[in-house]
A and B are shown apart, each in its own frame.
Chain A
Amino acid sequence: MPIEIAANLPVLFAALVAFCVVVYVLADGFDIGVGILLLLAPRPAERDMMLASVEPTWDGNETWLVMGGVLLLATFPAGYYVLLPAFYLPIIFMLFALVMRGVAFGFRQESVDLQRVWDVVFAGGSLVAALCQGIVLGGLITGVTMRNGAFAGGTFDFLTPLGLACGLGLVGGYALLGAGWLIMKTGGQTQLFAREVAHSALILTAAMLCTVSGLSALLVPEVAARWISWPDSLWLAPAPIVTAVALVTAWRRIWTGRDGLLFLMGLVVFAMGFVGLVASLWPYVVPRHVTIWDGVADRQSLVFIGVGVACVLPVVLAYQAHAYRVFRGKVRPGQGYGAAASASEP
């Protein structure tokens, strides 16, 4: 193997793990968001339509969560065995929530009279999953207690103001993505509903983005130092500016923009948020304890995985992109996706 590649293996694999996380957050984000909005949808017809819009893709999306977990174990074990115990309760509750959400989707299809119950389970699971993921995110920024190569903090360390703000922010952000998805994929009453709730989702997202940024700067000096030190701040400046532009554009064009605009702006906000997160935490696997170079797995393990990833991942991505392309266009009321996919654009 050429020396440059060997030396950069940790960076390459960090990028791979980050890629899986981003794919997961963006893909599962909109269907978790649709789940959260399900609580607010007043009419059964809309709930049917909302669920139909995520039906073909949502379980494929969750495969990326498994992928992210096992890749972290295989490539940056320190991140896995320190961070997961540190966030024990939020992770376990996220898993409970995802389990309930998954079975609710399956059982709803078999159910006749109790669909409303499964709607609530699906929505509740989505909400709790988003909150828990946000709490983990906030805890990641705050940092964890670590001694002798292991987590050394308490069970409830995860309960921080920053974590709660991130939790609410992620609920808002996912709801924003969900609303954007619904505007893009549906029409009529459902689309109207999505445009209405998009306002609240946007306000919550923007408010929590400001809160999280402010709290991080106040509570975590290392993160503050990263953002205000010259010339780093010059390179980092575009991230908040682009975020602000995206949020304002989304707000002003909810009713007048093209159907895909809000979803696109939601993706931009998430992408910028991720850039901000990486900028705040780089180059740590376990923030301010273990860097990617110290926490990386053995080279022979990375090479073994690398071969599989290089062979399989392009095929998987091409296939999933194809699946999304097949299901482009609007979902029709009272019809399965099959009709929508073969019908042309309205």
Chain B
Amino acid sequence: MDAVILARLQFAFTVGFHILWPTFTIGLAGFLALLSVLWWRTGRPVYRDLFRFWSRIFALAFGMGVVTGLVLSYQIGTNWAGFSRAVSNVIGPLFAYEVLTAFFLEAGFIGIMLFGEGRVSRGAHAFACCMVSFGTLLSATWILAANSWMQTPAGAVADADGIFHVVDWWSVVFTPSFPHRLAHMVVASFITSAFVIAGVSCFHLWRGRHPEASRLGLSLAMWMALILTPTQILLGDMHGRNTLVHQPTKLAAMEGLWQTTRGAPMTIIAWPDMEQARNLYAIEVPHLASLYLTHSWNGEVRGLDAVPRADWPNVPIVFFAFRIMVGIGVVLLATAVTGAILRLRGRLYSSRWFHFLAMGTAPLGFIAVLAGWTTTEAGRQPWVVYGALRTADAVSPVAAHAVLLSLLLFVVIYAALLLVFLWFIARILLRGPQILGPGAPVPARRPTVMAGTVADLNPGD
């Protein structure tokens, strides 16, 4: 394998592993912020118990996100020197702003959030939780602004050496695909977390443990899911039509559409054959793709034939990744609606089959997010900056064997980390919220950052 493929595999692996944690923590930070505010306003102990339980899981996941993100901030230089050279003027400041605004905000408040409960006032604690949640959203905003610029570049021009220079910062940040991508990703995070929370709550209900906290967790999660899954499908549709306008080749690969067609069919499933440039074993619904993409029966959709073969992405990868994402979206919507019907009939907390179903859907959000990112990133190929910089020109002059060695080590180390993480999570889950319930002391060796601030915030304490 050549160095380009190896570098792409390595980056896909490390960024794919990384995205799991922010996906989870963005949604979970919002959930924790909600719980801390509810605890502050109502004083019901169940909110505090649930907060303590989920904040321990959050702490581990957040740590994983921080360390795997640190890797990425250097990998762009070690493995993608050509990219760094060409776009540093554009991308660099966006990353710098992410650190300046989001990372330092999170670093400043996460101590109070995780260790300050019971040591600072409930209002101050809720404020810290909201700040951390806000920090995770800011972080997503900057990084998606950078990614969106790579998808739909604007506001910068390349000189004769291929170096990009910014002419308009507003256009660089607010590229055409940015609002769609940001909304789609943030909602995906909240949905993923909601189904994890629902699944874990159902696990406790199924075992007959921690009934009060588990009912509350399931109830909040299913409300979140009911509101957000239909929203996400709407946002996905808008994002898709945005892609049709700005990245028609990617969209053609997603749809498996080889020829530019009026009244294009929706391909439910097929085997896209790049050699013959056609779909084998296709099951299609006539006119449907034109209908949802152009909102007209005979609307024209550009096919892959509109660009030379050298500019095609790998069609099967994009085609199947897209279908996995959409398929999971439909399953999650169905689960959310089922949960709502059961709630109406007063059986949400007693239907054991539904608890099984919810446990099964808990990991699906992560798979959908990975599939979605595969769709958008593999669909952008062979460009790293769409239409402007080819991936092959973006790699570092590093020997293939060095990249292979580091790739193998990344796989081994990350796999080990994931196993250990799941082991610890399983132990926390089995213990459940009640262990940390009323009267349980905050572990003495967990400090802290804000332990001391108690004295500073409330001198009379």
A residues within 8 Å of B by Cβ? 48, 52, 55-56, 59-60, 62-63, 65-67, 69-75, 77-78, 80-85, 88-89, 91-92, 95-96, 98-100, 102-103, 105-107, 109-111, 149-152, 154-155, 297-298, 300-301, 304-305, 308-309, 312-313, 316, 319, 323, 326-327, 334-338, 341-342
Contacts and interface: CB of A to CB of B under 8 A. Distances in A.
A48 B73 contact: no
A55 B448 contact: yes
Interface in B387-429: 396-399, 401-402, 405-406, 409, 413, 417, 420-421, 424, 427-428
Given A298-B89, A305-B96, A337-B452, A84 B424 contact: no
B60 A106 contact: yes
Contacts of B360: none
A148 to B, nearest CB: 10
Given A91-B78, A99-B68, A301-B89, 5 more contacts: A60-B107, A84-B77, A85-B396, A85-B398, A305-B92
A301 B166 contact: yes
Contact of B451 (A48, A65, A338): A338
B88 A81 contact: yes
B353 interface: no
A301 B444 CA distance: 47
Interface string B345-365: 000000000000000000000
B94 to A, nearest CB: 8
Interface size class of B (residues with CB under 8 A): 35 or more
Nearest to B108: A319
Contacts of A67: 96, 99-100, 103
B68 A301 contact: no
13 contacts: A48-B445, A66-B69, A69-B77, A70-B73, A70-B92, A70-B95, A74-B93, A84-B396, A102-B63, A109-B446, A312-B101, A326-B455, A341-B452
A63 B399 CA distance: 30
B60 A110 contact: yes
Contact of A338 (B107, B397, B447): B447
Contacts of A77: 84-85, 88-89, 92
B452 A342 contact: yes
Contacts of B398: 85, 88, 155
B60 A150 contact: no
Contacts of A309: 96, 100
User: What 6 pairs across the A-B complex have the smallest Cβ distances?
Assistant: A74-B92, A338-B451, A341-B452, A84-B77, A77-B88, A326-B452
B13 interface: no
Q: With a 10 A CB-CB cut-off, give which of B76, B90, B452 has the most chain A CB atoms.
A: B452
Contact of A91 (B74, B81, B413, B456): B74
Contact of A316 (B104, B169, B401): B104
B78 A84 contact: yes
B413 to A, nearest CB: 6
Contacts of B455: 326, 341-342
Contacts of B405: 89
B165 A103 contact: no
A338 B99 contact: no
B310 interface: no
B97 A73 contact: no
Nearest to B101: A312
Nearest to B99: A67
Nearest to A95: B71
Given A62-B70, A95-B70, A309-B100, A151 B451 contact: no
A233 B88 CA distance: 37
Contacts of A98: 67, 70
